[in-house]
Each structure stands twice: as structure tokens, then as C-alpha cells.
Amino acid sequence: MKILILGSNGRLGSALARSWRKFAEKEIIPLTRAEVDLSDPEKAEAGLAALEFGTGDVVVNCAAATDVDGCERDRDLARRINAEAPGRIARLCASRGARIVHIGTDYVFDGMLDRPYTEEDQANPLSHYGVTKLEGDREVLAASPLHCVVRVSWVFGPDKPSFVDAIVRRALTNPDAAAVHDKTSSPSYTEDMALWLAEFLKAEFPGGIYHLCNSGTCSWRDYGEYALECAQRNGIPVLTTTVAPLNLSDMKAFVAVRPPHTALATSKFTRLTGITPRPWMEAVEEYFRHWQP
Ligand SMILES: NC(=O)c1ccc[n+]([C@@H]2O[C@H](COP(=O)([O-])OP(=O)(O)OC[C@H]3O[C@@H](n4cnc5c(N)ncnc54)[C@H](OP(=O)(O)O)[C@@H]3O)[C@@H](O)[C@H]2O)c1
């Protein structure tokens, strides 16, 4: 069985490529932007079509235009990378009897609900990133009933720095920390994602939309504060564990509108697999046990 990973230099794609190498019976084929560039959807499809894969194989698409503000500035590029190219690749996979597991985002929702979003909840993106990612989800699902869209949120892990790394790194030299308190979601640890996403490689796994993240909900401020506490417990010499609250509405540097509350409900995944994602705090704690500045 072949597993082709698009976006294999990214935060999630690197973790999957590294972690899945241990599967003796699967051939892992990491594909970087240099090998398959989604900004030219036709060329990307042709590049992938030149590779040998077929029935029973899986393409995992972790590649995306993930700069939320950048997607507002170059809307056409965002649409090509996040929607058109995944659509073409999904149709190519369908024609070969392969399945695509396409990674989606919580930013397809407007964030106005006061409970975690289920797969049945209405999407209503507020940003061009969210709009193009939703278009990508729809293109992928329309190509085959076997295809999966897996929406994740607040991805962190050892392969590429994210919010938690930035706040801890800053606190090594600066005693003032601040983060938005009125925006909430669920962090997703890439080491956990690698275990959970392996379920989607099974031939019998039903197609459709899934939500996947660690359990529990937090604000960026809670998340940052807990990361600093974990760092301190693990001997990382941070100068503070207190994070001052900022309002989302005060983040003037943001170009795109961010949805305020986008925690994801993962019960569909749990019903199918019997796996209950562990709490985000456990995952962050573990992450900082092995953290390197
Ligand atoms: N990060 C989050 O908090 C978050 C939240 C919700 C959903 N997601 C979704 O999760 C998935 C993985 O995100 P991530 O955190 O791993 O993001 P990431 O680290 O930014 O990785 C994205 C990958 O896409 C690649 N890429 C960008 N433009 C490309 C192009 N034109 N052609 C081919 N590859 C291209 C990047 O390549 P380079 O390495 O060459 O730049 C990178 O490897 C994405 O679908 C994202 O929308 C992420």
C-alpha cells in the first residue's frame, strides 16, 4: 500500500511522514511543494498522475495556503491551492480507485456557536482562507464517496513552530506575555494526529467529513498560559507564566476576520474508531517534556 503525503514539509505533513515510516507494510511517499506545486493545479495534477499509485492507495493532503491574512491579499492563489488543486487531485484519485484524506479547517465556521461544531453544522466562513478551504472540502467530497475531509484546529507539534512555541520562546527573554482571551478552539497535537489519522488509511473507513482535535476547549490566552506552566515545570527558564488578556477586536494587524469560537466535536470519529482524543492539556504537557528552544 502506498501513502502519498502532500505538504510533507509542513507542521502536520512532516509529523505524518516521520511517524508513519514505522509502518512496515506501507510505502510512505512524502511530497513537498518542489515536487507537487498546488499553485498550478493542472501541473500539480499532471505531476501526481506521473506517479504510480492506484486502488487501495491513499493520498493525504496536508498542503494548503495556510497564511490566513495572505489568503486575503492573494485570493486567486489561495483558491488555486486550497480548492482547485485538491479538486483535481481528488478526481484523479477517484479515477484510479485511490482515496484522498484531505485536511480541512475549523475556519470554515463563523464561530458564533456556544458549543463545539459537529460535522453537520452549517459552514459559513468569514475569511477568504475559510471560503477557499470550504470550496476544497466540497470539491474533494464531490469527487468520490470514499474521500475524507478531516477538519482540524490549532495544530502544534515538534516539526514546525506554532503559537505555543512562539509564546514560550518569547518568554525566555521577555517577562511580558499577552494573548487573545475571547477566541476559543481546540488544539491538535501532530503526534496524536498521526495515530488518529492512521485510522483513515484503512480501506473500510467510511468517506465523509470528520472533525479531529484534542478534547477540551480553550482560549489562546489559556493555551499560552498552560504552555508556559508546562515549560517551567520542565525546567525551561521562562520569565513568566502569566499571560495578559487581549481582545480579538484589538488585533489591528489581522487582515482576515477570525471566527471567535471554533472548537470541534470529535464524537463521529470516536463512534467509528473507539478512540477518544486525549485532553489538549495532556498533549501540551507531553510536548513540553521534549521541547527544545
Ligand atoms: N496550523 C493550524 O493551526 C491549522 C488549523 C486548522 C487547519 N489547518 C489545516 O491543516 C493542514 C496542515 O496545516 P499545517 O499546520 O501543517 O500548515 P503548514 O505548516 O503551513 O503546512 C502547509 C504545507 O503546505 C505547503 N504548501 C503551501 N503552498 C503550497 C503549494 N503551492 N504547493 C504545494 N504545497 C504547498 C507548505 O509547503 P512549504 O513547506 O514549502 O511552505 C507546507 O508544507 C492545512 O490544510 C491547514 O489548512 C491548520
Distance from Cα 63 to the centre of ligand 1, integer Å = 5
- Domain that includes residue 198, residue range: 2-160+187-215+264-278
- One DSSP character per residue, 163-183 reads HHHHHHHHHTT-S--EEESS-
CA separation for the pair 197, 153 (Å, rounded): 14
Region 217-228: mean pLDDT is 98
Q: Closest ligand 1 atom to the C-alpha of 80?
A: 31
Angle at 204 between CA 201 and CA 209, to 5 degrees: 70
The enclosing domain of 127 has a CATH number of 3.40.50.720
From ligand 1's centre to the CA of 65, what distance in Å? 6
Q: How far is the CA of 8 from the centre of ligand 1 (A)?
A: 9
Residue 41 included in any domain: yes
Q: What is the pLDDT of residue 24?
A: 82
- Note whether residue 182 is domain-resident: no
Instruction: Report if residue 242 sits inside a domain.
Output: no
Q: Which residue has the cell 498550478?
A: 40
Closest ligand 1 atom number to CA of residue 107: 6
- Ligand 1: which residue has its CA nearest to atom 18? 10
180 Cβ contact partners less than 8 Å away, ≥ 6 residues apart: 219, 220, 221, 245, 246, 247, 248, 251
> Does 122 map to a domain?
yes
Q: All 3 cell numbers of residue 236?
A: 525551561
Residue 238 lies in a domain: no
Residue 155 CB partners (closer than 8 Å, separation 6+): 11, 12, 162, 187, 188, 190, 193
The mean pLDDT of the chain is: 97
175 Cα–ligand 1 center, Å:
31
Asked if the structure places residue 228 within a domain, the reply is no
Predicted confidence (pLDDT) per residue in 82-125, tens digit: 999 999 999 999 999 999 999 999 999 999 999 999 999 999 99
Going by C-alpha positions, the residue among 195, 230, 231, 196 that lies closest to residue 210 is 196
| Ligand 1 centroid to residue 62 C-alpha, Å | 6
Number of domains in the chain: 1
225 occurs within a structural domain: no
- For residue 235, how far is its CA from the centre of ligand 1 (angstroms)? 31
Q: Is residue 49 part of a domain?
A: yes
Residues with CB under 6 A from ligand 1: 7, 9-13, 32-33, 36-39, 62-66, 81, 103, 105-106, 133, 152-155, 160
What's the Cα-to-Cα distance from 285 to each of 154, 228, 278, 289, 290, rounded to whole Å?
Answer: 16, 10, 12, 7, 9
Tens of pLDDT, residues 96-107: 999 999 999 999
